Structure 1
């Protein structure tokens, strides 16, 4: 299937890799189908691209590559709605806000994208934890005293 991406232009995708967001994304409830696209020059970052709207795309990254101690628990409703049966089937990404210069860019740790990769079901999961920011630095966090 061919789609258009504001970041990558015209691109062929495998329809089996289309992610279903049953509730859409916050602010984009009508957009329910997305695909993760590789950024060829930088494998650390990806594009979460709407299948139907070329202008709706987010740069995402694996938050654990930057914040190794990042952790949270999913509620039972989310586990059920995403049909999660094994932690190994789950992938977590954080949406980035790109800034100039790039090192000032941020990631949203407060509302990660949680994906059941086996079922291709996903949602943006808003955390009720004060310890995580929606504008966390992409720079490695400073080591805690004693580390």
Structure 2
């Protein structure tokens, strides 16, 4: 069933991801449509609010940026996501796009975690001290995260 309510883009309800608590700073927006920048790739996505199309985020697969990224989730997060297995989860980091790639950053500290089965999502704050809120894209690969 195609849905359009609040969105000019047609989409299938099953394509949406739902944030029960919203994203940090955007708690009122709960339903987002992930749109791949490159077809059939989750490397970079446009995460578009279907409640307000002027609200979107560029998100990236952190494992394609940093191979040793190791987010650790609490059991509460697994419960919120209704996740039985780590294999059901996908992780994304929000990119703040600057006027050039050198001036763009990603947030490894607060990834978005999506249960690919239930389509539930949360944004979490990782307890690890090794991840920061702003990590320059130009420095990825040059230093440890």
Please, what TM-score do these two structures have when normalized by structure 1? 0.86
Name 2:70's counterpart in structure 1. Answer: 71
Distance 1:143 1:73 in 2: 21
Q: How does 1:37-48 map to 2 (within 5 A)?
A: 37-40=35-38, 43=41, 44-48=43-47
Distance 1:12 1:47 in 2: 15
Distance 1:97 1:18 in 2: 22
Name 1:27's counterpart in structure 2. Answer: 25
Q: How does 1:83-122 map to 2 (within 5 A)?
A: 83-122=82-121
4+ residue runs of structure 1 moved beyond 4 angstroms? Answer: none
Instruction: Return the offset for 1:104.
Output: 2.4
Name 1:12's counterpart in structure 2. Answer: 10
Please, what TM-score do these two structures have when normalized by structure 2? 0.87
Distance 2:101 2:142 in 1: 18
- Structure 2 unaligned spans of 5+: none
Instruction: Return the offset for 1:141.
Output: 2.0
Tell me the SS of whatever aligns to 1:11. coil
- Structure 1 unaligned spans of 5+: 5-9
Distance 1:47 1:80 in 2: 26
Number of aligned residue pairs: give it.
139
Computed over aligned residues only, the root mean square deviation of the Cα atoms, in angstroms, reads: 2.0
Instruction: Return the offset for 1:40.
Output: 4.1
Tell me the SS of whatever aligns to 1:60. strand
> How far does the alpha carbon of each residue in 1:44-74 deviate from its partner, in whole angstroms, 9 at most, with x for none?
3111111111111100010111111110211
> How far does the alpha carbon of each residue in 1:64-111 deviate from its partner, in whole angstroms, 9 at most, with x for none?
111111102110111111011111110000000001222321110010
Name 2:142's counterpart in structure 1. Answer: 142
